[in-house]
Amino acid sequence: MKLSLSLIILTLSLMTVLPAIPTHSWMARVFDFPRHLIGLILIVSLGTFLLLYGIPTDWWLVAVLAGAGALVTQALWILPYSPLHRTQVPLHRATVDSDAVVIAMTLNVYQHNRDYAATSNVVHRIDPDVLLLVEVDQSWISAMNAASASYPHRVLIPQDNTYGMAFYSRYAIRDVEERRLIDDSVPSLKLTVRLPNQREFRIYALHPRPPRPEKDQDSKQRDRELDCVAAEIGRETLPVLVLGDLNDVAWSPETRRFMRLSGLKDPRIGRGLFATFPVGYPLIARFPIDHVFVSEQFALLEVARLSDVGSDHYPFLVKVALGSGETSTAAST
């Protein structure tokens, strides 16, 4: 038992160290994802070891110290995505001009999911102002015709390779750019939205490739795309929203780099994980990989992970107000 616990603790400690290696290899990058799960197993393993055997004075101490260091490291990565941390996007408490409000929803529909009605129902119920669906093929585009009838402005890119994209907007859009920045088979969008009060903001819609063990499926393409977009956003003069399934967890080094280069903020910081993938797993085994990032001109009204719609992802929603006003750092519920 003592040896088994020590091996578990040392293995988890190695999983903690691997993401610190400067490489795009999936063998290291994959351990960016389960930091909260690794932390929980470390708590259980270390707690059990100390309860059964106390603090060791021989070589077993190496495992205990390694596990303690790994636990602190994981906690530092995860802490910002808890109510214990200061919020990054303030909660708007003042009266809001309805013409300045944007309800943005993003959902990876899972291309092979054919429960079109569940997604249509949540679109009708939430009635977002801008909606991004990814992994859409032509069947999804056709099935969403009724639900999207109230969106006169749209950009539709159906594909059969799980990288199709559909953007719907209640508000006028212009300067639409369909881009394939790194891979010709992976589209992204850049466009400008005009609100009823004539203010404009930019939307970037993204769904880069994830890190996987197959050939050419390390994190290099994903990271290059995120870096390219972040650098572009850093030069923007308009307010910005970024929507999409980034195939990267909120706390990863690459996502932190994306936020630093772009100057964008994460509404989840100081509020919770809002983990969106995969559906059907306990919270501790889900990951926040669907994102809405906002520039400093936006104040937060609401952030929420919505209910199951038959996909392997939950929908993710952010309601923001564009403009100034009184704000509070109180956490969203």
Say if residues 195 and 153 touch (Cβ distance below 8 Å).
no
The alpha-carbon radius of gyration of the chain (Å, integer) is 21
User: Following DSSP, what letter does each residue of 133-172 receive, concatenated?
Assistant: EES--HHHHHHTTTTTTT--EEEEE--SSS--EEEEESSE
pLDDT digits (tens, 9 = 90+) for 190-237: 999 999 999 999 999 999 998 776 655 688 899 999 999 999 999 999
> Is the confidence at residue 172, as pLDDT, over 90?
yes
Residue spans per domain, the chain: 2-81, 91-328
- CATH-assigned architecture of domain 91-328: 4-Layer Sandwich (3.60)
Mean pLDDT (the chain) is: 93
> Is the confidence at residue 327, as pLDDT, over 60?
no
pLDDT digits (tens, 9 = 90+) for 72-98: 999 999 999 999 999 999 888 777 788
> Is the confidence at residue 325, as pLDDT, over 60?
no
pLDDT score for 96: 77
User: Following DSSP, what letter does each residue of 9-70 receive, concatenated?
Assistant: HHHHHHHHHGGGSS---HHHHGGGTTHHHHHHHHHHHHHHHHHHH-S-SSTHHHHHHHHHHH
> Facing residues of 241 across strands?
203, 294
Question: Kind and range of the H or E element at 244?
Answer: strand 240-245
Model's pTM, two decimal places? 0.92
SS3 209: coil
pLDDT digits (tens, 9 = 90+) for 270-317: 999 999 999 988 888 899 999 999 999 999 999 999 999 999 999 999
